[in-house]
Amino acid sequence: MGPCRLAGPPAKGVCGASHELITAKNLLRTLAAGAAAHCGQAARLGEYLGKKLPAAYLARKAPAYLYRAWRSAGLLPAPGPSSCFREISEAMHASAMGVNSDWGDLVKWCLKMAILDGYYGLHAATALEDGKFGKPEAREGALNLACLSARKVNIAVHGHEPAMVEAIAGEARRHAGVNLVGVCCTGATFLSAHGIPLAAHFTLQEEVIASGLVEALVVDSQCILPSLSDLCECYHTRLITTNPLARMPGAVHLPITDARSARRAAKRAIELALRNRSARKPGYEAAFGENRQPPARVVIGSSEENVDVPGIAAKLRRGGLKGVIAVVGCVNPRSEAAGWVDAFTELSRDYLILTTGCMAFELGSHGLLDGKRALHLGSCVNNARIADIFGRLAELCGRRISSMPLLVSCPMPITEKSAAIGFYFAALGCAAHFGGPFPVAPGTATAGALGALLKNECGGELLLEADPRVFREKVAKTLLPAFWGRERARRGCGRAGTGP
């Protein structure tokens, strides 16, 4: 028996589980893992800062009409940030072998995980970050591998936790010969908060080491390829881990639990890198110089505070802008990124793009992050900023989120976290798109039930589409115009000039 997979007939597994049950269980486990990562990140940051969020955090933060709708549909997690781990553990229990076999009920659990991820993960982590480090400021930044320096000692910082970012950025300022670069979401945080360059996203992380120029790679948690251990051995790079949950073979472990241990780890990491400079093998510097393309110049540091939300709302109302598209989540080696970049470049003529995480890097390296067509909002947890902007836009337009032309697209999802982010936005009432590999297979009864639940209880919609051209057509021709039309239909005011 097992693992639970059904590719065709028979209609049920030997245990009696149907396709629907298996897909619902798998999706629930995916979303619970995504929520665990974001909530764990927020909880760890809260412990590090000695801060707790109020028990009524979700009730205060969520739009009141949505809170009521979620409550009456049985989608609300138990109150209080600390309850989220109990909920996640119950979701894992409910989806374990022989526990909950009502797949319709498990689909509800999926949305509960997504809502919990949004508030106790994304919003909580972003609020804690902002409380400690302040809101980012819009500024110019640089990205891609060209941000490494052949003349300096390179230290790459990779993962998701701002504590190490802050400590090492502070310490590195005292060493003129040190070049600090970020990778993945730590890179996005570096870029937004400190203007430090972003060398790579998820699929380019190995190339940072393979440049032969990196003296130390400091990692905390999430999206860190296990292959980096082997790769660091092939080059001279010292691998340093800082999260007690995320040890790696061959790494120097410098656990961070508070500000003191962060400062100590930052100092030690820089010492190790400086000492390791002499181990850099000859030849790499010359090869880097020959192949180096200039870094992409980007505008970074947008937030819900410095984006002109009233101006965007006014443009939406006048029809000068057809909608807002959030491009979020991962890049993955199975999908062709170029097609997606083309689709969003095309859409950016009529739609404002807000972007985070690895997709922000992808768009930025193709010149889209110019501060006009596409705005960089930070790391994956900073999708909370986009949710705030969406909520405010709806308020300013006198509508609900579900009748606004607002889309979240996760075109190349690879982690459980990106699935949780997309479903959170769908629960807010947005259109939510996933490219392949899909978190739930299109055309299945489970995908249908989820779509119906989202539409009926939250007003959201699910679009599963792996072809960038088809996606672009659907979004521009039917999906977003239909969202905007919902309110006009309700109010009976569908005249020309009342919206795009």
Provide the binding-site residues for ligand MSK, judged by CB under 6 A: 184-185, 201-202, 223, 329-330, 357-358, 379-380, 414-415, 417-418
Three-state DSSP class for residue 143:
strand
Least Å distance between CB 330 and ligand MSK?
A: 3
Q: Which is nearer to ligand MSK, 17 or 354 (CB)?
A: 354
Measured between alpha carbons, how far is 402 from 61 in angstroms, rounded to an integer?
17
Euclidean distance between CA atoms 210 and 231, whole angstroms: 8
DSSP, collapsed to helix, strand or coil, labels residue 241 as strand
Q: Is the peptide bond before 3 cis (omega within 30 degrees of 0)?
A: yes
* Residue among 70 and 202 whose Cβ is closer to ligand MSK: 202
CB of 212 to ligand MSK, least distance (A): 24
DSSP state of 204: G
Nearer of residues 62 and 163 to ligand MSK, judged by Cβ: 163
Interatomic CA distance for residues 282 and 284, integer angstroms: 6
Tell the burial category of 218 from Cβ atoms under 10 Å away from its Cβ (0-12, 13-18, 19+): buried
Which one, 242 or 415, has the nearer CB to ligand MSK? 415
Tell the smallest beta-carbon distance from residue 132 to ligand MSK (Å). Answer: 19
State the minimum distance, in angstroms, from the CB of residue 99 to ligand MSK: 28
Handedness of CA 418, 420, 423, 427 (dihedral sign): negative
Q: Considering beta carbons, is residue 451 or 468 the nearer one to ligand MSK?
A: 468
Minimum CB distance to ligand MSK, residue 216 (Å): 20
Distances (CA, A) of 421 to 118, 166, 264: 7, 25, 34
Q: How far is the CB of 123 from ligand MSK (least distance, A)?
A: 16
Shortest gap between Cβ of 157 and ligand MSK (angstroms)? 13
Nearer to ligand MSK among residue 57 and residue 202 (C-beta): 202
Angle (nearest 5°) at CA 252 between 207 and 279? 55
Nearest alpha-carbon partner for 36 in 85, 75, 96 = 85
| Positive or negative torsion for Cα 279, 284, 286, 291 | negative
Q: Which is nearer to ligand MSK, 219 or 449 (CB)?
A: 219
